[in-house]
Amino acid sequence: MSTFTPLSSDGRRWDKAGSSESRTSSTRSGKTQYRLIEDVEDLDRYRPEGYHPLQIGDELDCGRYRLVHKLGYGGYATIWLARDLQRVRYVAVKVITADSSGCSPEASFLRSLGNTRSGPGREIIPPLIDVFWIAGPNGKHRCIVTSPAQMSLFDAKEASTFGLFRPKVAQSIVAQLIRGVAFLHHENIVHGDLHLGNILIQFPGVIDRLSTSELYERFGEPESEAVVRLDGKPLLDGVPAHVFIPGWFGVPSDEIVLGDEKIILSDFGESFNPDKELRFSSKTLPLLQPPEARFSDEPLSFAADIWTLACTIWEIFGQRPLFEAFFPTADRVTMEQVEILGILPPEWWRKWSRRLEWFNEDGEMDLKPETSGGHDGVRRTLDKRFDYCIQEPRDEAGLEIVTEEERRAFEGMLRSMLAFRPEERATAQQVLHSEWMKGWGIPALEQSWSTFDS
Contact 56, 244 (CB under 8 A): yes
Find, among 412, 151, 421, 127, the residue nearest to 295 by Cα: 421
CA neighbours within 13 Å on the CB side: how many for 42?
19
For residues 245 and 71, is the Cβ–Cβ distance under 8 A?
A: no
Residue 94 marked in a binding site: yes
Q: pLDDT digits over 32-62, tens only?
A: 689 999 999 999 999 999 999 999 999 999 9
Rounded distance, CA 345 to CA 342, Å? 9
Biggest alpha carbon–alpha carbon distance for the chain: 66
d(CA 115, CA 117): 7
Contacts of 95 (CB under 8 A, 6+ apart): 51, 52, 54, 77, 78, 79, 80, 134, 141, 143
- Helix or strand run (H / E) with residue 114: helix 106-114
3-state secondary structure of 420: coil
Output phi, psi for 386, to 5 deg: -60, -40
Distance CA 295, CA 348 (A): 6
- In the predicted model, is pLDDT for residue 342 greater than 70? yes
DSSP code of residue 299: P
Residues composing the chain: 454
Residue 373: per-residue pLDDT: 59
Measured CA distances, 56 to 71, 91, 295 (Å):
11, 14, 47
Is it the case that residue 2 has pLDDT exceeding 60? no
Write down the pLDDT at residue 396: 97
Cα distance between residue 113 and residue 130, in whole Å: 14
Structure confidence at residue 103 (pLDDT): 87
Residue 217's contacts (CB-CB under 8 Å, 6 or more residues apart) are none
**Cα dist from 224 to 38, 182, 297, 353, whole Å:** 11, 41, 47, 49
CA distance 123 to 119: 8
**pLDDT for residue 14 is more than 80:** no
pLDDT, one tens digit per residue, over 259-271 is: 999 999 998 989 9
pTM, rounded to two decimals: 0.89
Amino acid occupying residue 171: Q
Lowest mean pLDDT among 52-61, 120-129, 286-295, 427-436: 120-129
Instruction: Give the C-alpha separation, 412 to 414, whole Å.
Output: 5
Q: Is the dihedral of CA 173, 177, 183, 184 positive or negative?
A: positive
pLDDT at 327: 87
* Continuous segment of H or E residues that includes residue 369: none
Written as one string, the DSSP assignment of 203-228 is: PPGGGGGS-HHHHHHHH---EEEE--
What secondary structure does DSSP assign to 305-351, as a single string? HHHHHHHHHHHHHSSS-SS--SS--HHHHHHHHHHHH-PPPHHHHHH
Dist CA 277 CA 217 (whole Å): 48
Give tens-digit pLDDT for 357-382.
999 999 999 876 556 655 666 789 99
pLDDT digits (tens, 9 = 90+) for 154-205: 999 999 999 999 999 999 999 999 999 999 999 999 999 999 999 999 988 7
Per-residue pLDDT tens for 78-111? Answer: 999 999 999 999 999 999 999 999 888 888 889 8
Q: Are 134 and 95 in contact (CB under 8 A)?
A: yes
Q: List the one residue out of 74, 34, 46 whose CA is nearest residue 137.
A: 46
* Residue of 133, 144, 141 whose CA lies nearest to 91: 144
